Amino acid sequence: MSKTVKKQPPKTHRKGERDLRFTTISDMPIEALYGPGDPPDFNPDRNLGQPGQYPFTRGIHENMYRGRVWTMRQFAGFGTASDTNNRYKYLLEHGTTGLSVAFDLPTLMGVDSDHPLALGEVGKEGVAIDTLADMETLFVGIPLEQISTSMTINAPASVIFAMYLAVAEKQGASLSSLRGTLQNDIFKEFIAQKEWIYPPRPHLRLITDLMGFCCDQVPQWNTISISGYHIREAGSTAVQELAFTLADGIGYVQAGIHAGLDMEVFAPRLSFFFNAHSDFFEEIAKLRAARRIWARIMRERFGAKDPRAWKLRMHVQTAGCSLTAQQPVNNVARVTVQALAAVLGGTQSLHTNSMDETLCLPTEHAVRVALRTQQIIAEETGVTNTVDPLGGSYFIESLTDRVEEGAMAYIRQIDEMGGIINAIEANYPQKEIADASFHYQQQIDAKEKVMIGINRHTGGDDTRPEVLTIGPEAEEDQLQRLRETRRNRDQAALDRALANLKAAARGEDNTMPHILDAVRAYGTVGEISDALKEIFGSYQETSVF
């Protein structure tokens, strides 16, 4: 890839050849052939480097998967805590190397299972967690010192994390030994997923309190998983996913600095969560560009000195929005390609979706196939034998540069608006995603974008697999457990803890120790969230359109 070679390969198409110049998901033009001079003015010293070295385009570790394969972290949760505990043990028995907790919608919204809004939703989309008693059951027989746990929770993240810490205490574990990740990314809730409680600015107080608490007490814990996954699931392009995710990351770094936290301590504990969609090479380029942009942001914009603060550590999940209810077995092929893109892009951990997720919660059979997909990639394909095997490809490097350019244009626009909170309040990312989603659906409807089984190759076997359903008995069991917990707890101790929490929220004390006290007194997610709502208020979204 010598810079001295100026001759370009032909960019013409032979008669009858299909024009492939607009085939990425993001509609970036793709040429028929790439060669020397692609990308133009390529600077390998600045843009590429070596694995494990700034700017980490080729990976954050020198040996990558030759040293340690990625964590196989399968997202799971349904019904009651006991139901999900059984699924965790099944996954661990079959070779998963990290747990990832899916919570039901009431828990995600910070309401209890007996709240009117929870009717019919308890345990349906994830596990129902109301009190510390549920969290104790969720991890019974699973030593938390020995397993890394990720929890996809945002608005009530501080409460759920406090419950996890209280369970660890009961197991006799040292908090300093705990490893895992809390999603705790409220910006993407306002942008894409819409599961919020408090307005953005006061909610940042809870996030920086948790960051500070973990710096002191739980130093191995990733305090935020800055999530592009849900932004992509809402319909964004790859470039938008990358741009808005990194803009959110900038916002959290700024918030931590404003709160007086040491950037060199908290920044290395930030992690990222990306989507692996179906455009194979674009997804690889996106993940490579993500590391490079973040390294430059942290070193050149924020002046971080510790190389650990420059490294973008990521989890990747295959694209749920790409799966089809039609011909669902085809989803195995989609997930395989997406997972391979994540691996070639250099992820640190990976979740592979199950073939039946458009129809139901994943069955044990489908979950096992999804996990085996990762294991086959890791152990049979040879892709782990060398680091960044696509690095130096004319096409990959050109695409990585262009993804970076597109993402940086968005980030500069958000900077000009005064930062991500101002952009969210102006509905800027929300509108950009809505427009992209609408455009993509138009292309599917017009058959300009192909989805097998939807708008092409629609014939053949469309047999539905066995489905997993959550019956009303799960909600009945959860409500009974909640009533028993309320009946048996020390109400006076809880009242004192909630009063102290509200006082801390009004003042400047860190809220996390008081949330922990309320959790230890078996306060519910809803009760603790409502106490904070009295101080912080509730968020009301303004219309995008």
**DSSP of 390-451:** TTT-HHHHHHHHHHHHHHHHHHHHHHHTTSHHHHHHTTHHHHHHHHHHHHHHHHHHTTSS--
Q: Is the pLDDT of residue 7 over 70?
A: no
Evaluate whether residue 249 is within a structural domain.
yes
Evaluate whether residue 468 is within a structural domain.
no
Least confident of 8-12, 51-55, 326-330: 8-12
Record the pTM.
Answer: 0.92
pLDDT band at 544 (very low <50, low <70, confident <90, very high): low
Distance, CA of 354 to CA of 351 (rounded, Å): 10
Q: Is the pLDDT of residue 426 over 50?
A: yes
Could you read off the pLDDT of 99-154 as tens digits, one per residue? 999 999 999 999 999 999 999 999 998 999 999 999 999 999 999 999 999 999 99
Q: What is the pLDDT of residue 11?
A: 42
pLDDT band at 39 (very low <50, low <70, confident <90, very high): confident
Q: Which helix (H) or strand (E) holds 240?
A: helix 238-258
pLDDT band at 3 (very low <50, low <70, confident <90, very high): very low
- Residue 211: name the closest of 167, 255, 245 by CA: 255
Measured CA to CA in angstroms, residue 52 lies from 191, 312, 346, 393, 461 at distances of: 32, 11, 11, 19, 47
Evaluate whether residue 461 is within a structural domain.
no
Q: Is the pLDDT of residue 483 over 90?
A: yes
Distance, CA of 23 to CA of 525 (rounded, Å): 46
Q: Is the pLDDT of residue 18 over 80?
A: no
What is the extent of the structural domain holding 260? 44-445
Q: Which helix (H) or strand (E) holds 7?
A: none
Domain count along the chain: 1
Q: What is the pLDDT of residue 207?
A: 98
Q: What is the CATH number of the domain that holds 434?
A: 3.20.20.240
| 496 token code pair | 């004192």
Evaluate whether residue 542 is within a structural domain.
no
Mean per-residue pLDDT for 171-181? Answer: 96
Distance, CA of 134 to CA of 278 (rounded, Å): 37
pLDDT band at 422 (very low <50, low <70, confident <90, very high): very high
Evaluate whether residue 470 is within a structural domain.
no
- DSSP single-letter state for residue 361: B
Residue 313: HSE in the Cβ half-sphere, 13 Å Cα cutoff: 20
Mean per-residue pLDDT for 88-96? Answer: 92
Long-range contacts of 255-263 (CB under 8 A, 24+ apart): 255/204, 255/207, 255/208, 256/208, 256/211, 257/302, 258/208, 259/205, 259/208, 259/211, 259/212, 261/208, 261/211, 261/212, 261/215, 262/215, 263/302, 263/304, 263/309
Supply φ then ψ for residue 73, to 5 degrees: -115, 100
Could you read off the pLDDT of 307-346 as tens digits, one per residue? 999 999 999 999 999 999 999 999 999 999 999 999 999 9
Distance, CA of 520 to CA of 523 (rounded, Å): 7
pLDDT band at 59 (very low <50, low <70, confident <90, very high): very high
Distance, CA of 244 to CA of 185 (rounded, Å): 12
Q: Is the pLDDT of residue 454 over 50?
A: yes
Evaluate whether residue 503 is within a structural domain.
no
- Residue 234: name the closest of 224, 248, 244 by CA: 244
Could you read off the pLDDT of 511-521 as tens digits, one per residue? 999 999 999 99
pLDDT band at 215 (very low <50, low <70, confident <90, very high): very high
| 477 token code pair | 């069991």
Mean per-residue pLDDT for 79-85? Answer: 95
User: Tokens 């997202």 label which residue?
Assistant: 75
